[in-house]
Amino acid sequence: KYKIAVIQLNLNDVAENNLKKCLSWVRDAANQGAEVISLPELYSSHYFCQSEDVDNFALAEPLYSTSFTAFSALAKELGVVIIVPFFEKRMAGIYHNSAYIIDTDGTEAGLYRKMHIPDDPGYYEKFYFTPGDLGYKVFQTKFGKLGVLICWDQWYPEAARITSLMGAEILFYPTAIGWDVNEQDPAISQEQYNAWQTIQRSHSVANGVYVVSVNRVGREADQQFWGGSFVSNPFGSLMYLASH
């Protein structure tokens, strides 16, 4: 058995401040007994995919630079596993929506690159991200076998199924999803949230695994990120649900 923590927070700030904030919150979680800790999708910046702007590529970082250095040191110091989703610059013209899985000794348990890339109003991710080329993966850590998928992957049963069949005990979904502030019908907003939660809880039931969904919160431009981070058990029952 091991304890997990989800870090649900507002990230509408510059990279340096978001890094400091997330390091502090991870430390707080570890001090409360957490052993596996996950940040939300694209932790280091505001959710820039609401528009198609080439200037936003400056937010990306190469592998094993700022984010890895900082969280690797913290994982080793605290003896915890940390899931760190970030904007990866692989090379000129090729960028990924990625996540480090950092083990308790500060080494990399693995890297995941988001496979399913949306292109919807307010979520123009295909402008920025190349689909992942590493496939679905399971990461062996000190505390257990973790499956890590990212946001839009959550709508696809095959992603959960394949990762579970590979031996994952928990599926983590670092996420950035919210409501369009221009949507005036609360019933539609509720339907969107219900669908998001239901599809992920169904992955628990279908595969007999725990599911952990980790969302950001707060308003950024035209998106009100709805938080609602949760943990479901293998029966799909909510063990924990964060507020909006």
Q: How far is CA 155 from the centre of its chain?
A: 14
pLDDT at 80 over 90: yes
What is the C-alpha to C-alpha distance for residues 168 and 147, in angstroms, rounded to an integer? Answer: 5
Catalytic residue list contains 41: yes
Residue 175 pLDDT? 98
Question: Does residue 45 contact residue 21 with C-beta atoms inside 8 Å?
Answer: no
Under the banding of pLDDT at 50, 70 and 90, the label for residue 183 is: confident
Q: How many Å is the Cα radius of gyration of the chain?
A: 17
What are the tens digits of pLDDT across the range 5-49? 999 999 988 999 999 999 999 999 999 999 999 999 999 999 999
Given the residues 114, 125, 137, 220, the one annotated as active site: 114
What is the C-alpha to C-alpha distance for residues 98 and 114, in angstroms, rounded to an integer? Answer: 6
Catalytic residue list contains 151: yes
pLDDT at 184 over 90: no
Mean pLDDT of 60-85: 98
Residue 61 pLDDT? 97
Given the residues 35, 137, 151, 220, the one annotated as active site: 151
Neighbours of 232 (CB within 10 A): 24
Residue 137 pLDDT? 97
Under the banding of pLDDT at 50, 70 and 90, the label for residue 213 is: very high
Mean pLDDT of 104-108: 98
pLDDT at 122 over 90: yes
The fraction of the chain above a pLDDT of 70, given in percent, is 100
Q: Two tokens at 207?
A: 């595969």
Catalytic residue list contains 49: no
Mean pLDDT of 103-126: 97
Whether the model clears a pTM of 0.95, i.e. scores above it, the answer is yes
Under the banding of pLDDT at 50, 70 and 90, the label for residue 68 is: very high
Given the residues 41, 88, 125, 220, the one annotated as active site: 41
What are the tens digits of pLDDT across the range 133-157? 999 999 999 999 999 999 999 999 9
Pairing of strands 36-38, 4-6: parallel
For 156-216, the three-class secondary structure string (H helix, E strand, C coil) is CHHHHHHHHHCCCCEEEEEECCEEECCCCCHHHHHHHHHHHHHHHHHHHHHHCCEEEEEEC
Scanning the structure block, which residue is given the tokens 């348990």? 109
**Helical axes 157-165 vs 186-207, angle rounded to 10°:** 30
Residue 45 pLDDT? 96
What is the C-alpha to C-alpha distance for residues 5 and 37, in angstroms, rounded to an integer? Answer: 5
What are the tens digits of pLDDT across the range 214-230? 999 999 999 999 999 99
Residue 12 pLDDT? 86
Question: Does residue 215 contact residue 175 with C-beta atoms inside 8 Å?
Answer: yes
Mean pLDDT rounded to a whole number for the chain: 97
